[in-house]
Structure 1
Amino acid sequence: MKKKAFIIVFLFLLSNYPLINAQPWVTVFEDRVKIGETIIVGDYKIDVTLEKNEMKPYAIIYEDEEIKKVVGQGNLTEIGNMRIVLGSYNAEYEEVFLALQYKPSLTKEISPKNGASFEVGDYALKVIKSGNESVLLSINGDEVEVKAKSVRVYDKLALEYTGDVLRVYLANIQVKREERKDYELYYPFKGLKVKAGDEVRIPITVYNNGNKELTLQLKILSKPLGWDVRVLDESGKYGVNEIALNAKASAVLTLFIKIPEDASGTKGIRFAVGEEIGEITLDVVKNAGIDVIIPMLGVETEAGQSVTFPIIIKNRGEEKAVKLEVTEKPAGWNAYFLMGNQRVKSFLLEGEQEITLFVEAPRNAELGEHKIGFSINGIEKNVSVFIYKTHKGEPAKIVVTAKDEEGNFVQGAKISTGNKTAFTDGYGRAKIELKPGEYKIFVEKEGYELVEKEVSVEDGEEKTLEITLTKLPYYFELEGSGDTVAIAAGSIGRYAVIIKNLGKEEDWYSLSAFDVPEGWSAEFYYAESPIRKITISPGESKEVALRIVPPYNAQPGEYNLIIAVKSSSGLEKRINLLVKLIGEYKFEMYPETPMVNIKAGREGIAYLSLENIGTAPITNIKFEVSAPQGWDVKVTPQVIPELGSLYFEGGVRRISGSENRLTVTIKVPETTPAGTYQITITGKGDQAQASTQITVRVTQSSNTAYIGILILVLTFGAVIWMMRRVGRR
């Protein structure tokens, strides 16, 4: 389906070119091509490659090793006798659909007669039937009908029939396909004009397109006698004879060439990176009074960026005037010379001077290599800028920063143009994406005057605008402490209202409350004094408290009321307030008898009462016991699902029932000494908790008492006996 869709687009593009009374075209290639493969058509070589950052395919067209055009995806490009279109791209297989058409040459022109035969190249043609409306041919055994005033394409033939004359065109061209290697070289210069004594440094980029690490040998295959030619690393400091590249990685090398002072004429240098052979031709001219040294001959950059080329000019004789001129640059580009920060066109030179060629690439610059030519006292030089990423067709961005007259950021300002809208953040910033062009930007916010600005943006450009908003004479903002206030039954609710005078003038404001429930009280206070009107200076704010008092018998629930503030200028703002009246959650526990007597080794029972003294039920009350170690204390029931309030609706007291009584069973160990002990019982509900204590007085049984007395008598007798015995001695 992708291929079919592409062919339809391709035919639509070609439909803009008339075929009658004009040179016809023949499709000579139509297939998917892998990234890195090369298609050779006559004198043209088409390298299919991939833009490294955007991952978009494009094709570079060479003629005699010189870049002629760079073709982007979806564009129809015509160069010489060839048309080229790049179609859909499959990232998984790294394939792009490529279609080529070639302009055939007129080979045969006849008045067709029935039975006539002739040959054109490898094709045998025979006229089967001829008429004014069409001619029927046999081509290599296939029947082909050509209608009058139309063109019919058969393989590499184009057949045009005027009604009485048949013209046969032949695309006598061979198309070769070279599969990609695992690696490729790129170096921007194939031929250079240099001066004797110059040092030339040419960047060479090696790309590993494969999925494995590569180790490549570096060699200088041929160089002029007496010349210093070496391969250095990217910094140009160290010699390199071998590189290792990870999969999908690249490396930049420097081909260093030192030209002898007495050199002249055309010289060639050949080098090898692995099995790839590179060749550079140098046209050496003798020194003409000044030397022009250009350390950087080619750079890569992104469209919309500026690049600089340092240029060193040496004067070998007396002081002389130096004239600078940019002779060649792409349309829409800007290039000029700088000395320090000053643009210059000429200057006096004595000794040596460094200047800078400053080049500005537009944001919509085409991908590929672009040449900048210039002349220094008639010495022609050129450098190149390779655009690896373009912003052509990308949306532009406008970043607006809004501030007030005091320089404070304005949050929530509305930024709009056309059908685009954005709002500033806490730093007063907002961003809008637009197509390249000219726009009117509107900045507005309540309390401020409207601001209008005109701005123009280019492809992919991000432009910053700083807007100052002027306050209106009378304007205020109203803020509340939330949209809900909770009040416990029987208490007073407080809600804070903040009035900010954002205007330029002092103003007064009246305060009102609407839809207050019947029987409720709602009044405004400032500094603990009731008010109905307040005056505020410009730039200041005051906090007013709304006191809300529900009646004692008001039922828990949700109530709505409205707060309205109106200025002297007539501007009114409101707050819709939700009042939640919540019940009081509180209960008590207390023993029915203050003390329980239990004999050691026996069980006793105590009773506790629970009473909800709040205004709302308490649910899911569970009990925890803290007792002396070894005691067994149980509470029955273990859980009370709900403990109702002591008050019915309307404040009528409810009588406690048996469901609010606890039975506490206490078993005292037999070895517990007589005495008084405390047991703490805590009830924990979902909304509240309470604790109480039971005092237990433990007594001993009579048998245990007798045994204790006997032990004391025996002990006392033993002491007296010991004293007498010791006294005799």
Structure 2
Amino acid sequence: MKKLSTVMLLFLLLSSIAQAQPWIEVFQGKVKIGETLIVGKYQIKITQEKETLMPYAIIYKGNEIIKVAGLNDTIEAEKIRIIPGSFNPESEEVFLVVQYEPSLFNEIKPKAGLSFSVNGYSIKILNSSEESAELSINGAEIIVKSNTSRVYDKLAFVYNGEILRVYYADVSVKLEEKRDYEIYYPFESLNVKAGEEIRIPISIINNGNDELQLPVQVTSKPPSWDAKIIDGQSGYDVSEIILRPKSSAQLFLDVKIPEDSEGIETVTFAVGEEIGAVKISVTKESGMEVKVPILGVEAEAGDTLKLPVEIINKGKEKEVTLEVKGKPQNWNVYFMLNGQRVRSALLDKQLSFTLVIETPRNADLGMHSIAFSVNGIEKRVSVFIYRTHKGEPAKLILTVKDEDGNFVGKAEVTVGNETAFTDSYGKVELEVKSGKYLLVIEKEGYEKFEKIIKLEDGEEKSLDVTLVKLPYYFTVEGQGDIVQVKTGGIGTYTFTINNLGKNDDTYSLSCLGIPEEWSAEFYMNEIPIKNVQVDAGKSKDVLLRIIPPFNAQPGNYNITISIKSSSGIERTLSLMVKLVGEYRIELYPQTPMISVKAGSEGRAVVNLQNSGTAPITNVKFEVSAPQGWDVKVVPSSIPELKPMVFGGGNVKAIAVPSQHTSVQVIVKVPKTTPAGTYQITITAKGDQAQASTQITVRVTQSSKSAYLGILILLLTFGAVIWMMRRVGRR
């Protein structure tokens, strides 16, 4: 069992104090199994379940049991509240806090100086305001704040800013220790006939180690009845019994019922401090006889029990009135006859009724009593709950279909704070605490379903729900939200119209926010359309073509597709058109070949043209030339190269002469460069594109250089001839 901490106890006590009707703590401590706590006219007997050995509390009011509950949660019965704490199986002790609901003693309008007394408590009003009242109780000062309550000993005060209510718990508390003896008698209620004599056995067992001397007496009986207790062996009347240690004795309660008696009477007796009571239902031979074959049953909480009740008519009376006199709270008890719930019937000789007992799933463990009467003849049966579902979550199983019996998937189901979605078979399961909930089921294209449902502890409830389609409803699904279009090109976007309503519908199409001079048209099967009809339960794909003009600037453009049904429902799709320009550089020389004398420089002109659709920025030049050559491009960079220009509007675009830029390539050839033909590569690189071209350079020598070359050749030739002659002579 869970232990109740001191913090939890304090919380429970404080929360109870804050209520309008306060509770006063009258006991706090440990109570052993078998002991009885007497609180005023209530007796709280602590016992133990035989199989699980868990502690239980049986609350008596006089000789009547008003509550049987396990000590695992707070127990309330009339003016008693029990807050259980920890249980020690070894010492068989359970910690209890017992509170008592006090009675209203007085209501006053507090004024400073006002004095009054409550059963020995001297109370004086020291001060009062709308926020609080200050009191002196037997010299001790306390403050009662507005809209709260305050407990002092057996007094409780509730103040609302104007009226001070004074409550008093006129109750004493006594703990009766476990006795060393027990009494048993097999019958607590009997059905007899007038004039009969009955004998009820009473067993007394001394469990202690000491000899017991116990008084024995009949404590109450009807005035005209004869009742006495006799010894089982001698047959003598007994007023006292002596029991040796670990011994037992057998007595009998003898009751003689007069001939003129009728109805239900009670005979009580006492053996020492133990009280016994027997209810005796007396019928006359000439009246009705009520037979209840089954007096006690065991059940699981939530079971429905059906007990037979036979009524025999021995007189002239023909009408039978059935009435449920007592039952546990939240239990449902009624009579059935031939499949109908009845309260009265006409009786010829004999009728068999069924007493139906519907137990709630959160019924407390232990014994429960059901009382009923037939024409004033009272009967009682008992139900022992051996298993309860108290505190267990309930499970709700839903199956959602449409009007045609088709499963509805992805329907949103809400129960309290729990939300889930049905699967492809329309099913969903939710676990929630017991209680009353609003069940809400929603799905696009269907009417909202709402129903109040009640779920009990541990209950598994299955429901089939039918969703009704709306007459007109549709959804639109698009392929993303971005379309990329090249300048001068065509962009396409496909979307689907789903008709989820009951009826066929027609949808008008329009494109909002399209830039001026742009073109946007809807197509289906390559045919331009402005409206589309979709049958109920069907869908159709629509193609949007977007054509920007050639002079449209690259960038992002936001447009909206509007789809409006003939029933007035409108859906929109937001679309971003990314217009991407085309980047292309054309590079060609005006002078593809130049001649340069070695040691001199030459110039060539190269033209650049942007043949794309968007500006190219930050154009720079790179040159590849023979080693040692000095080549420069002037200018060395161009900040922006604009594209070709086209006519605007939706008229046919006609190309006009493009804007181009010329650069000079200055080539300086070293003196030592031999005559010949050489290639120079010029590359223009922009941020968006690049291009290359070549220039041919023909290098020539000067005349002085030619003569010098011839002279060198002649000298070389002469030197060779001279060497040959000298070698030949040798």
- TM-score, structure 1 length as denominator? 0.41
- TM-score, structure 2 length as denominator? 0.41
Which structure has the bigger radius of gyration?
2
